[in-house]
């Protein structure tokens, strides 16, 4: 079945000769013939399987089937399904980073046996300030803990106060960009840029 789902027509599964049609595979609980006979029921998964199901309620189904009578379906909500906890935060300060990230998570007792994900955005240069081992220790009661780090690069070039962009040469502007973007081997790139600009001005390419 890998790569191919079996597709049945609605008229086939909603045939009134059936008393009840039990469907599988789809995780979302639903009766695709709701209000009519026969019930065509996807009970859904009994556990959440990914973060797309964070808010989904889980059920099992009891169907009372008796020939000559309409089938009755009772949906029983499962209260013990493993919780998925998904949190997101953005670091605004380089001070007390670990405490700020702990504050973005639930209390340790609320994470017990849960699958927890914390996504954090921050300036790339603060990467070393994130103590992942301390966060894992804080969330050690969780069944599973995922830390998703999303470093952001600051690419804006800031020129000195009172300086006009138009007064800077292309090479001077490029030099400030290398510095602002923290580009490795900027000296070699600057030298290459100088050669390209010089060859363009003279019309000679070496």
Q: Please give the average per-residue pLDDT across 67-88, as a whole number.
A: 93
Same structural domain, 70 and 92? no
pLDDT of residue 25: 84
The answer to whether the beta carbons of residues 149 and 127 sit under 8 Å apart is yes
Task: Judge whether 135 lies within some domain.
Answer: yes
Task: Judge whether 50 lies within some domain.
Answer: yes
Question: What's the domain count of the chain?
Answer: 3
Q: pLDDT band at 201, cuts 50/70/90?
A: low
Same structural domain, 24 and 72? yes
DSSP E strands in 65-183: the ranges are: 72-77, 84-90, 115-123, 144-152
* Domain span at 173: 165-202
Task: Judge whether 66 lies within some domain.
Answer: yes
Same structural domain, 148 and 176? no
Q: Please give the average per-residue pLDDT across 107-119, as a whole number.
A: 96
Choosing from 77, 108, 130, the residue where a domain stops is 77
Q: How far is CA 117 from the centre of its chain?
A: 9
**Which positions ≥6 away from 151 have C-beta within 8 Å?**
121, 122, 123, 124, 126, 127
Task: Judge whether 158 lies within some domain.
Answer: no
Same structural domain, 181 and 145? no
**Which positions ≥6 away from 192 have C-beta within 8 Å?**
none
The answer to whether the beta carbons of residues 31 and 40 sit under 8 Å apart is yes
Task: Judge whether 160 lies within some domain.
Answer: no
Half-sphere exposure of 177 (CA within 13 A, CB side): 11
How high does pLDDT run on average in the chain?
Answer: 87
Task: Judge whether 3 lies within some domain.
Answer: no
Residue 206 has pLDDT above 50, yes or no: no
Q: How is residue 132 written in tokens?
A: 């992942």
pLDDT of residue 189: 86
Q: Report which secondary-structure segment, H or E, holds 21.
A: strand 21-22
Task: Judge whether 2 lies within some domain.
Answer: no
Percent of the chain with pLDDT over 70: 88
Note if the pTM is more than 0.75. no
The residue length of the chain stands at 206
**Which positions ≥6 away from 72 have C-beta within 8 Å?**
63, 64
Choosing from 54, 77, 100, the residue where a domain stops is 77
Task: Judge whether 115 lies within some domain.
Answer: yes
Q: What is the C-alpha R_g of the chain?
A: 30
Q: pLDDT band at 202, cuts 50/70/90?
A: low
The answer to whether the beta carbons of residues 186 and 192 sit under 8 Å apart is no
Q: pLDDT band at 161, cuts 50/70/90?
A: low
Q: pLDDT band at 165, cuts 50/70/90?
A: low
Choosing from 56, 77, 98, the residue where a domain stops is 77
Same structural domain, 64 and 119? no
């Amino acid at each position: 079945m890998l790569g191919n789902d079996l597709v049945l027509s609605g008229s086939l599964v909603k045939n009134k000769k059936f008393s009840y049609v039990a469907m599988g595979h789809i995780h979302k609980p639903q009766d695709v013939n709701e209000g009519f006979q026969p019930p065509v029921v996807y009970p859904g998964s009994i556990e959440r399987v990914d973060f797309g199901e964070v808010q989904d309620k889980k059920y099992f189904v009891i169907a009372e089937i008796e020939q000559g009578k309409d089938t009755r379906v009772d949906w029983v909500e499962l209260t013990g399904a493993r919780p998925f906890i998904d949190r997101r935060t953005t670091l605004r300060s380089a001070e007390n980073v670990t405490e700020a990230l702990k504050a973005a998570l639930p209390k340790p007792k609320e994470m017990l046996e849960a699958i927890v994900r914390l996504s954090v955005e921050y300036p790339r240069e603060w990467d070393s300030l994130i103590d992942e081992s301390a966060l894992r220790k804080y969330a050690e009661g969780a069944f599973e803990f995922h830390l998703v780090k999303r470093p952001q690069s600051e690419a804006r070039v800031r020129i000195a106060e009172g300086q006009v962009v138009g007064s800077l040469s292309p090479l001077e502007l490029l030099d400030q960009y290398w510095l602002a973007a923290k580009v490795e081997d900027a000296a070699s790139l600057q030298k290459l840029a100088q050669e390209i600009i010089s060859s363009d001005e003279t019309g000679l390419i070496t």
